[in-house]
Each structure stands twice: as structure tokens, then as C-alpha cells.
Amino acid sequence: MTWLRRLRPDGFLLAIIASAVLASFLPARGVGMTLLHGASTVAIFLLFFLYGARIAPREAMRGLAHWRLHVTILAFTFVVFPLLGLALRPLSGTWLSPQLYAGLLYLCLVPSTVQSSIAFTSIARGNIPGAIVSASASNLLGVVVTPALVVLTMAGANGKVGLGQIGDIVVQLLLPFVLGQLSRRWTARWVTAYGAPLKLVDRGVVVLVVYTAFSQGMSEHMWSQVDAAQLVVLVAVCLVLVALMLTLTWYVPHRMGFSREDNIAIQFCGTKKSLATGLPMAQVLFAGSGVGLLVLPLMVFHQAQLMACSVLAQRYAREAERAGAPAPEGRADGPDPDAG
């Protein structure tokens, strides 16, 4: 029954759901909402500063020798996913409300996870160094690429997205990230030594962003814009999207001649979408519009990807053990739910 235990929602996702439910019944209003928006802005700045302080660009550059692996993973993340999101446009206004479709498209544009991509690759005995470099590069590039993709693809899906957000993107996302990178001389050891408590800060920021988003959504009567049938369709589409990407990221690299270890890294890095990065980004990119329903698809996809990848990673590990493959050094004990 181990596999059933691994299908349970992780604590981070439960906290996010609880925050959304709380905001649906007890949303912030008036002065409280103004203060909450201010706190969210500061928290997002801190979050992207920490992201910048964690990622070592020199280590990433040294690991880029296996460029075919990294280009393939980034292509799945920032090319194949967005194309699939655009292909789903006929669902807007038919099976899904325009806001839910916009959220579906947005989830296809965010970068990959870091911790869970590496952890699953480790469990499955894949190319761990490759996963580390690619997942880090995805987040490094995502600070610029995701906003650019949003501007290019979502003007039709959400009319409030456009070039006017560039200033907010620079100030709230890119500036703190660059400052974090520049601060690594003084902060790198500190963020490594206090990784566990800082992870709680990361998750606390995301929970705060969700409460803010859903509070704002309640003032705009967001739940009256969807019905139960649309939510069922949304879950079904997310499950199909997870299954399709897991299939593509396995068979396409296999045809390209990658090793099994590389295949595993490509599958677990190329199918992930980061909840911890995507939610704060949405708060900045879609400022002034309701983002509660817009981030709902990303929340659904996040849990679906964790469940599917957990089952696959265990299966690959058993296959490797039967083949007599040695366990990788520094192997993770289990998947760490997405924290970035």
C-alpha cells in the first residue's frame, strides 16, 4: 500500500487549499485588503531575492556541457507546453470559462520545479547532475521567459495582460532576483545553512499570495463565473496534459538516442510546472485582475504531477534494482513537494 500513501496530497498543497477556502468564506476587505496587497508585494520581492541567492550561475554554466539534454528539457518546458496551451484555446467559452482557460494557458508558461524534479530523478536513478542544472536553468530563465511568453500569448486570453506590466515585472521579479544573484558572495552559505527554515518562508509567501488572490476574487464574485461541470472538465484536462507530457518526454528523447538516465531526467524536469514560482508571478503579472480562478489550474496540475511522478519514480527505481544498477550518491529519500 506504499503507492497509496504516496498519492496523498502533500502538506504544502493542503495549506494552499486551506488558504483558498478561508479566503472564500472570510476574505480580506477594505483596509485589510490594502494591507494584504502591500504585504504580498514585499513577500514576493523577498521570495525572488531568495531564489536568486540560491542558484549558483557558475555551477550551472559548468554543467552545460551536456547541452542536448538541457536544450531538450527547456524546449519541453518553454516550447511544447505553451504550444499545447494554445492548442486548447477552443475550450475557452465552451467547456471552460475564459478565466479558467487563461489559467490553463498560464500553467503551460511557468518554469519547472527544482526540488521535486531533482528528488524524483534521484529516486528513479536518473541523471541527477543533469536534473540539477536543467531545473535551475529553467527557474533562472523563467524569471524573464515566463513574463515574455505571457505578454506574447495571453493578450487574447486575458485582456489586462500587456506591456504595461513590464515595470512591475522588473521591480518585483527581476530586480530582487538579480540582487539575490549579486548577494551570493555574502548570502550563499547562509541560505544553504538555513535551507529548511527558509523553505517555510517560501511556502508561507505562496500561501499568503493564494489568500490574497482568492480574497480579491471573492470581491469580484469569481465562483459565480464557473460551475461544477467546468471544474470537472478542468481536472480532466489537467490529467490528460500530465499524461501527454509524461508520454512525450519519454518517447521523444528515446528516439533521439538519449540514455535511460538522461530520459528520466528529461521526463521529470520537462513535465513539471512550479507552483511556488508560478503563483507569485501571477500576482505580479495579472495585478489589477482577479487571479483566484486563474491560478486554480496550476494548483490542480501540481497535485496531479506529484502523484503521477511519484508512481513512475518508484517503478523506475524497482526496474533499476532488478537490473543491478547502483544507487546514486546523495540519493534523496523521497520527493520534496515543490518549493520552487
**DSSP letter for each residue of 168-211:** HHIIIIIHHHHHHHHTHHHHHHHHHHTHHHHHHHHHHHHHHHHH
- pLDDT over 90 percentage in the chain: 27
Query: Given pLDDT bands bounded at 50, 70 and 90, which one contains residue 219?
Result: confident
The confidence score (pLDDT) of residue 259 equals 92
* Model confidence band, residue 267 (pLDDT cutoffs 50, 70, 90): very high
44 pLDDT band (50/70/90 cuts)?
A: confident
pLDDT band at 330 (very low <50, low <70, confident <90, very high): very low
8 A C-beta contact, residue 269 and residue 73 = yes
What is the arithmetic mean of pLDDT over 259-282? 91
Question: What is the C-alpha to C-alpha distance for residues 269 and 3, in angstroms, rounded to an integer?
Answer: 21
Phi, psi of 96 (to 5 degrees): -130, 150
pLDDT digits (tens, 9 = 90+) for 305-322: 888 888 898 899 888 888
258, pLDDT greater than 70: yes
Say if 326 falls within a structural domain: no
Q: Tell which residue, 324, 43, 289, 59, has the closest CA to residue 159.
A: 289
Question: What average pLDDT does the segment 269-284 reach?
Answer: 87
| pLDDT band per the 50, 70, 90 thresholds, residue 332 | very low
Max avg pLDDT among 217-221, 265-269, 291-295: 265-269
Residue 337 lies in a domain: no
Per the model's pLDDT, the better-predicted residue between 328 and 334 turns out to be 328
Dist. CA 180–CA 184, nearest whole Å: 6
- As a whole number of angstroms, the distance between CA 58 and CA 145 comes to 20
Residue found by looking up cell 475557452 in the block: 92
Write the CATH number for 33: 1.20.1530.20
Cα(80)–Cα(228) distance, integer angstroms:
29
- Helix, strand counts (H, E) of the chain: 17, 0
Q: Do 295 and 16 touch, CB atoms closer than 8 A?
A: no
Q: DSSP characters for 78-107?
A: IIIHHHHHHHTGGGBTTTB-HHHHHHHHHH
Q: Is 334 a residue whose pLDDT tops 50?
A: no
pLDDT tens across 150-161, in order? 888 886 555 454
Q: Which three cell numbers stand for residue 191?
A: 541560505
Give the whole-angstrom CA distance, residue 242 versus residue 233.
14
- What is the reported pLDDT for 272? 92
Q: For 158, list phi and psi in degrees, rounded to 5.
A: -150, 105
28 part of a folded domain:
yes
Mean pLDDT (whole number) for 207-220: 79
d(CA 81, CA 89): 13
* CA 101-47-152 angle, 5° bins: 35
Please state, in angstroms and rounded to a whole number, the distance separating the CA atoms of residues 264 and 253. Answer: 10
224 within a domain of the structure (yes/no): yes
328 within some domain: no
What's the pLDDT band for 235 if we cut at 50, 70, 90?
very high
pLDDT of residue 3: 47
In a domain, 106, yes or no: yes
Cell numbers given for 19: 488558504
User: Which of the four pLDDT bands, split at 50, 70 and 90, describes residue 64?
Assistant: low
Is-contact 292 318, C-beta < 8 A?
Answer: no
27 vs 223, more confident:
27
Give the residue with greater pLDDT, 11 vs 36.
36
> Taking the C-alpha atoms of 318, 271, 117 and 299 in order, what is their torsion angle to the nearest 10 degrees?
-110
The pLDDT, as a whole number, for residue 110 is 94
C-alpha pair distances (Å), 23 with each of 41, 99, 217, 282: 18, 19, 9, 17
The pLDDT value recorded for residue 78 is 96
Q: Do residues 205 and 280 lie in contact, with contact meaning Cβ atoms separated by under 8 Å? A: yes
pLDDT mean over 138-151 = 87
Q: What pLDDT is recorded for position 61?
A: 60
Tell me the mean pLDDT in the region 132-153. 86
Please say whether the dihedral angle defined by the alpha carbons of residues 311, 315, 321 and 324, taken in this order, is positive or negative: negative
Q: What is the mean pLDDT of residues 143-149?
A: 89
Mean pLDDT estimate for the chain: 82
pLDDT of 81-130, one tens digit each?
A: 999 999 999 999 889 988 899 999 999 999 998 778 888 888 888 888 88
**What total number of domains does the chain contain?**
1
d(CA 104, CA 84): 10
Residue 236 lies in domain: 10-321
- Give SS3 for 317: helix
335: in domain: no
159 inside domain: yes
The pLDDT of residue 337? 44
